[in-house]
Amino acid sequence: MGQGDSEDDAIPAIWPQPDGQPVSCREKLLVLRENYVELHDVMRDAFEDAILMGVDEAQMRRILIELVNRMRSPHA
């Protein structure tokens, strides 16, 4: 998020299912939103800590992206 962006603006408005239809269950949407906010906070803290400890900002972004790219579906 850039400066001035609010966290609410970044949360996806639609969470698509594999068939392209959006998740519509309120309970699921609540969990997805809570997970997004929690993950954002943890990633922000880790990112800021790394920068404060001297890690190159661009490299830290690549590290976080690679972390996501290595995740595999539990249904694979």
Residue range 15-19: mean pLDDT, rounded: 96
Q: Does 2 have pLDDT greater than 80?
A: no
Decide: helix, strand or coil at residue 41: helix
**How much is the pLDDT for 5?**
52
Q: Where are the beta strands (DSSP E) in the chain?
A: none
40 vs 1, residue with greater confidence: 40
pTM value is: 0.79
pLDDT digits (tens, 9 = 90+) for 29-76: 999 999 999 999 999 999 999 999 999 999 999 999 999 999 999 987
Phi/psi-derived region of residue 44, left when phi > 0, alpha when psi is between -120 and 50, beta in every other case: alpha
- For the record, the structure tokens of 37 come out as 């906010």
